[in-house]
A and B are shown apart, each in its own frame.
Chain A
Amino acid sequence: MCQVGENYGEPATEESQPAPRPGLDKTPVLDCKEGLPVVVIRAGDAFCSRDCFKAFYTHKFRAMLGKNRLIFPGEKVLLAWSGGPSSSSMVWQVLEGLSQDSAKRLRFVPGVIFVDEGAACGQSPEDRAKTLAEVKLILQTVGFPWYLVALEEVFGLPPAVLRCSAQEPAGTAGAYKAAVDSFLQQQHTPGTEGAEDSPSLAQQQGQLCQPPPQGPMGLQSPTGPPAAAQTEALSRLFHSVKTLTAKEELLQTLRTHLILHVARAHGYSKVMTGESCTRLAIKLMTNLALGRGAFLAWDTGFSDERHGDVVVVRPMRDHTLKEVAFYNHLFAVPSVFTPAIDTKAPEKASIHRLMEAFLLRLQTQFPSTVSTVYRTSEKLAKAPRDSHDTAHSEPRCLLCLCTLDVDGADSATAFGAQTSSHLSQMQPHTALAEAGMHPVPCCPPEVGSAQGCCRGPCERGDPRVCVLEWLCYGCRVNMKDLPSLDSLPPYILAEAQLRRQRAWVLQEVQEYLIADSDGEAETA
Chain B
Amino acid sequence: MAAPLSVEVEFGGGAELLFDGVKKHQVTLPGQEEPWDIRNLLVWIKKNLLKERPELFIQGDSVRPGILVLINDADWELLGELDYQLQDQDTILFISTLHGG
Contact = CB atoms under 8 A, between A and B. Distances in A.
A361 interface: yes
A373 to B, nearest CB: 15
Interface stretch (A319-327, A390-398, A464-472): A319-327
Interface in A336-379: 337, 339-347, 352-353, 356-357, 360-361, 363-364
Interface stretch (A36-44, A450-458, A474-482, A512-520): A36-44
Contact of A40 (B14, B18, B52, B77): B77
A18 interface: yes
B95 A325 contact: yes
Interface stretch (B1-9, B30-38, B63-71): B63-71
A322 B97 contact: yes
B80 to A, nearest CB: 7
A364 B100 CA distance: 20
A81 to B, nearest CB: 16
Contacts of A325: 13, 68, 95, 97
A353 B80 contact: no
A278 B90 CA distance: 29
A18 B66 contact: no
A339 B77 contact: no
Nearest to B67: A360
Given A18-B78, A329-B95, A347-B55, A363 B65 contact: yes
A21 interface: yes
Interface in B1-26: 12-14, 17-18
Contact of A85 (B13, B53, B73, B79): B13
B22 to A, nearest CB: 13
Contact of B74 (A36, A279, A353): A36
Interface in B47-101: 52-53, 55-56, 65-66, 68, 70, 73-75, 77-80, 93, 95, 97-101
B74 A356 contact: no
Nearest to A358: B65
Contact of B73 (A19, A330, A337): A330
Chain B interface residue number, banded: 20 to 34
Contact of B93 (A279, A322, A329, A363): A329
A82 to B, nearest CB: 11
Interface in A366-412: none
Interface residues of A, number: 39
A392 to B, nearest CB: 37
A364 B65 CA distance: 7
A268 interface: no
A326 B101 contact: no
B6 to A, nearest CB: 22
Contacts of A36: 74
A47 interface: yes
Nearest to A37: B78
A44 B98 contact: no
Contact of B70 (A44, A282, A329, A352): A329
B101 A39 contact: no
B65 A357 contact: yes
A285 B18 CA distance: 28
A339 B66 CA distance: 17
Contacts of B98: 356, 360
A321 B97 contact: yes
Nearest to B95: A325
B55 A44 contact: no
Given A339-B17, A356-B66, A21 B77 contact: yes
Nearest to A367: B77
Given A278-B97, A329-B73, A343 B78 contact: no
A352 B99 contact: yes
A337 B101 contact: yes
B80 A21 contact: yes
Contacts of A19: 78-79
A30 to B, nearest CB: 13
A345 B100 contact: yes
Given A47-B78, A326-B75, A340 B101 contact: yes
A360 B14 CA distance: 17
Given A19-B78, A40-B78, A344-B101, 13 more contacts: A21-B80, A38-B73, A40-B77, A278-B97, A321-B66, A325-B97, A326-B75, A329-B95, A337-B13, A339-B14, A343-B17, A360-B65, A360-B66
Across the A-B interface, give the 5 residue pairs with the lowest CB-CB distance, nearest first: A340-B100, A360-B65, A343-B100, A321-B97, A342-B100
7 contacts: A40-B78, A325-B95, A342-B99, A343-B17, A343-B101, A347-B56, A356-B99
